[in-house]
């Protein structure tokens, strides 16, 4: 355990932004050179504009049921500019445009919160476990094994029963599960990174373990972390509809892409129903995922310290 001189520590912190800035400028330049990634980023921005600004364009409230359209959806609830139902109506006779806007907004939030938790908690947990190794690693990883195996539904049901339903509980439910896979991946990568020369050099010069993890290990994990985080986004969006099924989380009249897609899919895919009820929400889901994936890959390439 090296004692740190507060002065050097302060100067070190002070120099960080400068170094960071050049690293980030570099990364930005490389990211913008990647055409697929920039196009995907543009798509993401458009989706975000839709999700947060679409409400101003919608002609109807998302919970308003048009009783004149219920049951005769197929003939009257079709997407149309004249009726103001741009995306048609859903099975309950509500405006699908307003619902898709709100659902996209919520699902974006869920995907981002879920992967943020995974990135922060999972990466740190995995890096610490892998770096410290030995008994600590063994205990920390057995905890992950257990959490991966427990009947998670009961955790969600208990959250509902004890705390009641709210958006916060939904995020907690998502966050609790999202970081486990990330932790294992980060730990596995750390095992190989910690044998690299630059880490050994840092250890030899007496840098504190936490500093080594934050300064040397985590930056080298970023590539895989970014990629895995984008993989989590669709998983979390779908997972949300399951959590809502249990009663924790999104409740009518609020909705999410996951529940819009599943109710659309059940209506459409045996040849009947109203196809737009599936296609509009599915389009936004697919577009979001493609965009996130390409942005993720672009970010990874841009952040790769060796890729110059």
Partner 1 sequence: MAVRSTFRAASLLALLATGAMAQATHPETGDPLAENQTFSWRILDEVPTLDPGLIEDVDSGSIARQLFEGLYNQDAQGNIVPGVALDHTLSEDGLTYTFNLRPEARWSNGEPVTANDFVYAWRRAADPATASPYSWYIDLMKVAGAAEVVAGEAAPDTLGVRAVDDHTLEVTLTQPIPYFPQMVTHYTTYPVLQSNIEEHGDAWTQPGNMVSNGAYVLSERVPQERTVVTRNENYWDNANTVLNEVSFLIINDENQGLTRWIAGELDATDVPIGQFPRLKEEYPEEVHAVPNLCTYYYAINVRPDSDPALLDVRVREALNLAIDRDVIVNSILAAGQLPAYTLAHPATAGYEVPEVPIATMTQEERNTRAQELLAEAGFGPEGEPLTFEIIYNTDQAHQQLAVAIGQMWKQTLGVETTLANQEWQTFLDTRREGNFQIARAAWCADYNEASTFLDLMTADNESNDPRYENPEYDALMEESRTAADPQPLYTQAEEMLARDMPILPIYFYAKDFMLDASIKGYAFENAQENWYAKDMYRIAQE
Partner 2 sequence: MLTFILRRLLVAIPTILILIVISFVLMFAAPGGPFNAERPLPPDVMANIEARYGLDQPYAVQIFNYVKNIVLHFDFGPSFKYRDQTVSGLIAQGFPVTLTYGTWAFAVAVVFGVALGVVAAVRQNTWVDYLATGSAIGASVLPNFVLGPLLVLVFTLWLGWLPAGGWYGGQWQYVILPVAALATSYLAAIARIMRSSMLEVMNSGFIRTARAKGLPMRRIILRHALKPAILPVLSYLGPAFVAMITGSVVVDVFFSTGGIGQYFVNAALNRDYSVIMGVTILVGVLTIVFNLLVDILYAWIDPKIRY
Secondary structure string (H, E, C) spanning 223-247: HHHHHHHHHHHHHHHHHHHHHHHCC
133 binds partner 2 (CB under 8 A): yes
Q: Which has the closest alpha carbon to 122: 141, 109, 150, 139?
A: 141
List binders of partner 2 among 208-227 (CB under 8 A): 223-224, 227
Return the residue of 185, 213, 218, 243 that touches partner 2, per CB under 8 A. 185
266 binds partner 1 (CB under 8 A): yes
Return the residue of 39, 65, 109, 155 that touches partner 1, per CB under 8 A. 65
Site string for partner 1, 233-252 (x = CB under 8 A): -----------xxxx---xx
CA angle 67, 107, 96 (to 5 degrees): 20
Residues 30 and 104: their CA atoms lie apart, in Å, by: 30
131 binds partner 2 (CB under 8 A): no
| 92 touches, from partner 2, partner 1, none (C-beta below 5 to 8 Å by class) | partner 1
| 103 touches, from partner 2, partner 1, none (C-beta below 5 to 8 Å by class) | none
Residue 212 tokens, joined: 């080594």
| 34 touches, from partner 1, partner 2, none (C-beta below 5 to 8 Å by class) | partner 2
List binders of partner 2 among 233-252 (CB under 8 A): 234, 238
Closer residue to partner 2 in complex, CB, 112/282:
282
282 binds partner 1 (CB under 8 A): no
Q: Give the interface segment with partner 1, choosing from 29-37, 66-74, 207-215, 289-297 (CB under 8 A).
A: 66-74
To partner 2, the closest distance from the beta carbon of 237 in angstroms equals 8
Residues 112 and 119: their CA atoms lie apart, in Å, by: 10
Residue 60 tokens, joined: 């109807």
**Cβ burial, residue 254 (10 Å; 0-12/13-18/19+):** middle
297 binds partner 2 (CB under 8 A): yes
Residues 13 and 39: their CA atoms lie apart, in Å, by: 35
203 binds partner 2 (CB under 8 A): no
301 binds partner 2 (CB under 8 A): yes
């Amino acid at each position: 355990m090296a004692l740190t001189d507060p002065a050097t520590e302060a100067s070190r912190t002070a120099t960080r932004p400068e170094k960071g800035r050049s690293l980030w400028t570099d990364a930005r330049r490389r990211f913008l050179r990647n055409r697929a990634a920039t196009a995907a980023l543009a798509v993401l921005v458009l989706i975000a504009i839709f999700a947060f600004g679409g409400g101003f364009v919608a002609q109807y409230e998302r919970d308003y049921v048009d009783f004149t359209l219920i049951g005769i959806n197929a003939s009257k609830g079709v997407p149309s500019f004249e009726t103001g139902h741009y995306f048609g109506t859903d099975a309950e006779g509500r405006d699908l445009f307003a619902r898709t806007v709100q659902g996209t907004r919520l699902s974006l939030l869920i995907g981002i919160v879920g992967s943020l938790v995974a990135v922060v908690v999972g990466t740190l947990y995995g890096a610490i476990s892998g770096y410290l190794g030995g008994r600590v690693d063994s205990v920390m990883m057995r905890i992950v094994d257990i959490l991966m195996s427990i009947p998670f539904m009961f955790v969600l049901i208990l959250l509902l029963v004890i705390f009641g339903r709210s958006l916060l509980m939904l995020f907690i439910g998502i966050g609790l599960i999202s970081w486990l896979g990330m932790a294992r991946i980060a730990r596995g990568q750390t095992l190989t990174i910690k044998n690299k020369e630059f880490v050994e050099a840092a250890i030899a010069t007496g840098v504190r373990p936490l500093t080594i993890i934050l300064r040397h290990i985590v930056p080298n994990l970023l590539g895989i972390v970014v990629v895995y985080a984008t993989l989590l986004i669709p998983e979390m969006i779908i997972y949300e509809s399951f959590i809502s099924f249990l009663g924790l989380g999104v409740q009518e009249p609020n909705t999410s892409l996951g529940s819009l897609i599943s109710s659309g899919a059940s209506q459409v895919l045996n040849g009947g129903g109203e196809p737009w009820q599936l296609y509009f929400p599915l389009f936004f889901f697919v577009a979001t995922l493609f965009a996130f994936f390409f942005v993720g890959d672009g970010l990874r390439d841009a952040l790769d310290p060796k890729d110059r």
